[in-house]
């Protein structure tokens, strides 16, 4: 796959969504601060400030209805708004802070160009799957609204909630793409190490007659394996450094996703029981589509993340098993090659483990556990509020009967 092409397309997507202010230079293979990127963030900031202020307009009929119908949902909206303001400011800071780590990781990736292959197609799917799902929902909702624009005030209220989420989600897409490219480089290093170790075994078993040639061949193999070890160590440390620079953005995104899911599930639960009365057929379909888009987009991001984490871990374990296979044959490797193979195995075990603040591992099992715990907490909150409201209604009914 063509790493440079993937990074350029990723860069364009992140610029359009407002997460990055940097431009990827093809010649230097580095992200550098660009004037269009800075202007783009400034324009988005002005638009966001106008949309943010609309939430405090006392004349807004949408906010009045929301507050009257469900004070808890109104509180969730305000939480999302205030969290979004912090996220917008932090996303700008994070993109500037992480660019050094991104550049150091990009330097470890090969710069040569190759043809359009399956791995590159998968990279684009991972990058754009959520946008594709979101576009389908927007198209359907527009059709149901007969392609008429909503009132400007209502659109601005929705934009204030959506824009910070869209920007911060760029951090996850950047992580997914770079993790996928790192996996490809890890696979290439595994192939090189396997070829070198197998060639060394062949030379030993064939008992090459020319001693000088055998010594020269072994020396070359040792140097090649030593170079490969250094590349792997740099790749692992660069990837860990990149994750550390972006970890706060991922934590904030998980928090925003949790609040969105809580609002979506809460509103859907109450819609099924009471709110559907005030909706006509067309508006019901719009509500269902808007509500479903929350789950679909968040699920798409989580699935892409888990797929990358699973494949990267699988690649790492395949590399370790490959080394174990050679190390198990005690007499097959020379005394110089064997310690190098063990060092490479140790690097694989040590360098590609990423943790939030050196506390919580960021791998498939722990991310799945975090999503599961998030779902349980959301369900408990919705059940608590629903049962509490039902009890209050029952008390009112009993009091009215007593009267």
- DSSP letters spanning 322-375: HHHHHHHSTTTS-TTHHHHHHHHHHHHHHHT--EETTTEE-SHHHHHHHHHHHH
Predicted local distance difference test score (pLDDT) of residue 112: 64
Predicted local distance difference test score (pLDDT) of residue 202: 53
Phi/psi at 209 (5° precision): -65, -45
Predicted local distance difference test score (pLDDT) of residue 206: 46
Predicted local distance difference test score (pLDDT) of residue 58: 83
Phi/psi at 31 (5° precision): -90, 125
Question: Which residue numbers in the chain have pLDDT < 70?
Answer: 112-115, 201-220, 330, 358, 401-403
Predicted local distance difference test score (pLDDT) of residue 54: 93
Phi/psi at 33 (5° precision): -60, 135
| Strand-pair category, 30-33 with 355-356 | unpaired
Question: Quick one: which of 326, 359, 360, 362 has its CA closest to 345?
Answer: 326
Contact by Cβ (8 Å): 137, 292: yes
Question: Quick one: which of 55, 28, 70 has its CA closest to 385?
Answer: 70
Predicted local distance difference test score (pLDDT) of residue 213: 41
């Amino acid at each position: 796959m063509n790493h440079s092409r993937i990074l350029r397309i990723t860069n364009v997507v992140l610029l359009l969504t407002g997460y990055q202010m940097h431009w990827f230079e093809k010649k230097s293979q580095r992200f550098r601060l660009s004037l269009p990127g800075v202007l783009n963030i400034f324009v988005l900031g002005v638009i966001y400030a106008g949309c943010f202020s609309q939430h405090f307009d006392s004349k807004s009929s949408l906010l009045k209805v929301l507050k009257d119908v469900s004070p808890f949902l109104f509180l969730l909206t305000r939480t999302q708004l205030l969290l979004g303001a912090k996220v917008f400011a932090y996303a700008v800071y994070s993109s500037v802070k992480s660019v050094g780590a991104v550049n150091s990781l990009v330097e470890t990736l090969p710069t040569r160009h190759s043809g359009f292959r399956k791995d590159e197609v998968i990279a684009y799917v991972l990058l754009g799957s959520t946008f594709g799902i979101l576009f389908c929902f927007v198209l359907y909702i527009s059709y149901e609204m007969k392609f008429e624009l909503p009132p400007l005030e209502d659109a601005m209220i929705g934009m204030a909630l959506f824009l910070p989420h869209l920007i911060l989600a760029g951090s996850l897409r950047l992580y997914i793409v770079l993790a996928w490219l790192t996996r490809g480089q890890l696979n290439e290093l595994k192939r090189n190490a396997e070829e070198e170790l197998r060639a060394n075994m062949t030379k030993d078993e064939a008992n090459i007659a020319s001693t000088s040639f055998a010594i020269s061949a072994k020396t070359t193999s040792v140097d090649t394996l030593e170079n490969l070890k250094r590349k792997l160590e740099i790749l692992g440390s660069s990837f860990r450094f990149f994750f550390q620079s972006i970890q706060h953005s991922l934590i904030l995104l998980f928090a925003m996703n949790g609040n969105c899911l809580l609002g979506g599930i809460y509103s859907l639960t109450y819609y099924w029981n009471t709110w559907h009365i005030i909706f006509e057929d067309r508006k019901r379909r719009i509500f269902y589509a808007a509500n479903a888009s929350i789950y679909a987009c968040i699920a798409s991001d989580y699935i892409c993340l888990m797929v990358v984490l699973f494949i990267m871990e699988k690649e790492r374990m395949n590399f370790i098993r490959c080394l174990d296979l050679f190390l198990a044959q005690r007499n097959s490797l020379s005394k110089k090659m064997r310690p190098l193979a063990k060092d490479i195995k140790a690097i694989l075990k040590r360098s590609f483990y990423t943790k939030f603040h050196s506390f919580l591992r960021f791998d498939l099992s722990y991310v799945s556990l975090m999503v599961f715990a998030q779902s349980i907490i959301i369900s408990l909150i919705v059940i608590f509020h629903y049962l509490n409201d039902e009890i209050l209604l029952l008390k009112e009914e009993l009091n009215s009967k007593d009267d």
